[in-house]
Structure 1
């Protein structure tokens, strides 16, 4: 009877009671909150946002070429030698000859204003469209980076959650094993159990501690990365929700056309960008028409003090238009046009290549998900079997058929099965995340 009481007390110490790792009053960060903090604080996203701002300024710069260009002008010339001009000798009574005459004054001052206006330039309109399309691509690139951040945050959040559950299980087991070890030492001194059984408990404790330390290290590394992406200070202590994340896989509508995928949208915009760039290069061989005007004052004097006299100043003004027609530029424009045609074909091929790659990625992701679900089913069955083995082994231990070492082995196998099952659940969640990302609906995690 006394031996049976000892057996029962030892087994009670082995029953795991998994407690929550969250204390009352702790600030808990949900997945949605982490993602929102990332959207606000992440430095990479801030850089991408600034890139979109820069794109808009580039559009403004391109448009400015079509607005009036007005500038002021002023010049002062001091001629050490006044220019010589050859004039007909008839003027000075020397017919049939050319006579050199210095025309001008020592000082020449000009001040005025110039204006120009583009009237027609095919390159201008193409360049504005080119920058607009570049701005759209920049906006989509920002959206793509946001989606990538949502994906990475969700991955890390689920991974840390799973590791926390594994650590809680190991902590519970360690607590039970340590109590059991203290209890076994008392029975060892009383000669109720053999030293081998006590040593076996020590081995189990050491192995569990090593496994826990390794898991805590990996958990902390992933948690630090999560804080970095979310823009949370590394010194700040955070806790994640104990409730496992539902990524909403059952609510999504699978779209194998990938029309909603931002990466595909970017590829289509790049194709349009290449088409506009081709038109821009072709426009380089088109005529351009512009207007110009000038209004200025000029003073030509021999002495500096004469500049102040209003009678020495004369006005000059004119207005005109200029037509520029490219005739021959050494096939430079033709070379650029051919390069643009090649770039357009490359963008079309890249889009087809991406489409094929996405199909393969999606099929592989679905196969991986199905395989992970099958693995989880098997591991869950294995976990149930391991639980039955523990129950049977404990019953046989009460009957004196099994040793306490057998009970420890059964319990250790159960813990291993439980950890493997948790990992299989993690792989299912990660596979579902990958499919949601390929489906172009990863931002649903923000809702």
Structure 2
């Protein structure tokens, strides 16, 4: 079936349906909740845009992307100057003591000098102590317990450090940027999944509401036949059995219409769910099913597939092939794909698939992780510095007196209780031996990198398979649609002729019922074929990486 024939059949089907879109618009124009609540007008692009911007699962994924950005700031902060300020106050209610040999300091004997406990007590209170020499006499005393410090002590200080060289830090900066790129691609993957779900739900709703409108027209047409048959029965030209058969047919059709109504409502609820839209929000789909159905001829040309139609039109019979002449009337027979994936015909760009790009990013991360593990053997050089004050006193009020070097007691002695300190230097940390921990970490990182490299071939094969499957599924769906469209046109024509014969009195009521049943079956099959084509087109776009343009 060529493109011209397809368009002519599409025109015939549009004429057959007639006012179905108008009936459909009347059914979907009412808001879902509240007579005064305005309905949200939604085309497919608008539904996709709303879902990408508002669906909660995507919002959570974007939070992970923001977390990755914050992680970069955290890693960068490790290389900036680190400044800390601290202070503490302690009540040493029980001072720690240590043994001191007062008979010898640094190995120099204090022979001939007597030092009593009273002398030590007076010295601690700031009083002058005069030691009396006793030459020739050696003091023999055992070590004595002595408490260093006072009951109340405090200190305050500011410390500074700055990394001058750290191999792991430099690699970490590169890894942080790659990690952020990975988070962005994971968000894009989630967006593609949402676009797929919303598109399929939107198409499902379009098909459901179109079929519902057609069922309403079928009920209306059957009501007309039932009325005419009943009038004929009253006039004595028909049997009551004919009327009863039509009533049974109508009751079955009404039940089917009710089921279709609930299916349409369910499809709309699923669409709202996939969009992240509240169920109470009224919506009105602005796209039509006719506009959504793809141009089969152009699509076949893109796929490089031949049309499998064998006749010249609905109900046409294939002509027997002439020896030496192809089945296309002297033209070369169309080339049928032999089952090879699309890569056999044209080079496929794997980078169009977000999964492949994501795996490349993971490979880069694995390489940086391996370098980071190896960089653990490098030395770390830092600049350090500190400055502060420390003080002590026997009473809490004296501790906070903050007496400096110029402070004097009543008897003229220096009674400073706070003393300053400061230092600046370089800190070098050279890892020598860590029990082979780094060795095994490097092994793990190298294995992880090799695992990802093996995954590329698996992913390529998976993408090739998905490409071939989506292509074959779409071509099959197009063939089924062509066939069901032919069947629908034929069934509609048969139903029309049987009604004419019945009204003219030359046909039976049973023929009308059979023809109507066949017509409804053909309609159901046609709409199912349309939905299969639309879904297969979405799957095809996802397989080729065209569902969500970058």
Q: What interval of TM-score do these two structures reach, taking the shorter chain for normalisation?
A: 0.7 to 0.9
Q: Which residue of 2 aligns with 1:22?
A: 25
Using the TM superposition, give the Cα deviation of residue 98 of structure 1 relative to its aligned residue in structure 2, in angstroms.
9.3
- Verify the 8 A CA contact 1:88 1:99 in the aligned structure 2: no
**CA offsets, 1:50-70, max 9 Å, x none?**
111111111111111111111
- 256-265 or 300-309, which moves further after superposition? 300-309
Q: Which residue of 1 aligns with 2:106?
A: 88
Q: Which residue of 2 aligns with 1:112?
A: 157
Using the TM superposition, give the Cα deviation of residue 422 of structure 1 relative to its aligned residue in structure 2, in angstroms.
2.3
- Verify the 8 A CA contact 1:89 1:98 in the aligned structure 2: no
- Shift of the 71–135 alpha-carbon distance from structure 1 to 2, 3 Å rule, reads same
CA separation in 1, counterparts of 2:533 and 2:466? 16
- Verify the 8 A CA contact 2:17 2:214 in the aligned structure 1: no
CA separation in 1, counterparts of 2:294 and 2:257? 31
- Verify the 8 A CA contact 1:82 1:104 in the aligned structure 2: yes
SS of aligned partner of 1:81:
coil
SS of aligned partner of 2:238:
coil
CA separation in 2, counterparts of 1:25 and 1:401? 43
Q: Which residue of 2 aligns with 1:69?
A: 82
Q: Which residue of 1 aligns with 2:244?
A: 199
SS of aligned partner of 2:351:
coil
Residue 213 of structure 2 corresponds to residue 168 of structure 1:
yes
- Shift of the 85–324 alpha-carbon distance from structure 1 to 2, 3 Å rule, reads farther
| Residue in structure 1 matching 2:475, options 370, 375, 397 | 370
Residue 517 of structure 2 corresponds to residue 412 of structure 1:
yes
Residue 538 of structure 2 corresponds to residue 428 of structure 1:
no
- Verify the 8 A CA contact 1:90 1:96 in the aligned structure 2: no
**CA offsets, 1:173-216, max 9 Å, x none?**
11222343344344434433212211211221222223223333
More helix as a share of residues: 1
Using the TM superposition, give the Cα deviation of residue 248 of structure 1 relative to its aligned residue in structure 2, in angstroms.
7.4
Q: Which residue of 1 aligns with 2:385?
A: 293
- Shift of the 179–236 alpha-carbon distance from structure 1 to 2, 3 Å rule, reads farther
- Verify the 8 A CA contact 2:29 2:284 in the aligned structure 1: no
- 362-371 or 414-423, which moves further after superposition? 414-423
- Shift of the 137–242 alpha-carbon distance from structure 1 to 2, 3 Å rule, reads closer
- 276-285 or 210-219, which moves further after superposition? 210-219
CA separation in 1, counterparts of 2:234 and 2:294? 57
SS of aligned partner of 1:264:
helix
Residue 307 of structure 2 corresponds to residue 262 of structure 1:
no
- Verify the 8 A CA contact 1:89 1:97 in the aligned structure 2: no
**CA offsets, 1:54-95, max 9 Å, x none?**
111111111111111111122334442344265535164479
- Gapped regions of structure 1 (runs ≥ 5): 1-13
- Shift of the 248–428 alpha-carbon distance from structure 1 to 2, 3 Å rule, reads closer
Residue 335 of structure 2 corresponds to residue 230 of structure 1:
no
- Shift of the 321–101 alpha-carbon distance from structure 1 to 2, 3 Å rule, reads farther
- 366-375 or 408-417, which moves further after superposition? 408-417
**CA offsets, 1:326-381, max 9 Å, x none?**
12222221121111111111112222211110110110111111111111122222
CA separation in 2, counterparts of 1:225 and 1:255? 38
- 274-283 or 185-194, which moves further after superposition? 185-194
SS of aligned partner of 1:22:
helix
- Shift of the 323–25 alpha-carbon distance from structure 1 to 2, 3 Å rule, reads same
- Gapped regions of structure 2 (runs ≥ 5): 1-15, 31-38, 112-137, 304-345, 405-415
Using the TM superposition, give the Cα deviation of residue 156 of structure 1 relative to its aligned residue in structure 2, in angstroms.
1.0
Kindly name which structure, 1 or 2, has the bigger radius of gyration based on alpha carbons.
2
- Shift of the 377–97 alpha-carbon distance from structure 1 to 2, 3 Å rule, reads farther
- Shift of the 315–246 alpha-carbon distance from structure 1 to 2, 3 Å rule, reads same
- Matched residue count: 432
- Verify the 8 A CA contact 2:203 2:531 in the aligned structure 1: yes
CA separation in 2, counterparts of 1:285 and 1:303? 51
RMSD, aligned CA:
2.9
CA separation in 2, counterparts of 1:389 and 1:95? 135
- 399-408 or 291-300, which moves further after superposition? 399-408
- 176-185 or 87-96, which moves further after superposition? 87-96
CA separation in 1, counterparts of 2:499 and 2:248? 20
SS of aligned partner of 1:118:
strand
- Verify the 8 A CA contact 1:89 1:95 in the aligned structure 2: no
TM-score normalised by structure 2 residue count: 0.72
- Verify the 8 A CA contact 1:298 1:315 in the aligned structure 2: yes
CA separation in 1, counterparts of 2:184 and 2:505? 73
- 260-269 or 227-236, which moves further after superposition? 227-236
- Verify the 8 A CA contact 1:31 1:157 in the aligned structure 2: yes
- 261-270 or 249-258, which moves further after superposition? 249-258
**CA offsets, 1:240-262, max 9 Å, x none?**
12523448785989872221221
- 321-330 or 390-399, which moves further after superposition? 390-399
CA separation in 1, counterparts of 2:292 and 2:229? 44
- 81-90 or 271-280, which moves further after superposition? 81-90
Q: Which residue of 2 aligns with 1:33?
A: 46
SS of aligned partner of 1:402:
coil
CA separation in 2, counterparts of 1:77 and 1:186? 110
CA separation in 2, counterparts of 1:59 and 1:376? 53
Using the TM superposition, give the Cα deviation of residue 25 of structure 1 relative to its aligned residue in structure 2, in angstroms.
7.0
- 179-188 or 33-42, which moves further after superposition? 179-188
- 288-297 or 15-24, which moves further after superposition? 15-24
- Verify the 8 A CA contact 2:208 2:267 in the aligned structure 1: no
- Verify the 8 A CA contact 2:226 2:247 in the aligned structure 1: yes
Q: Which residue of 2 aligns with 1:4?
A: none
CA separation in 2, counterparts of 1:386 and 1:176? 15
- Shift of the 432–15 alpha-carbon distance from structure 1 to 2, 3 Å rule, reads closer
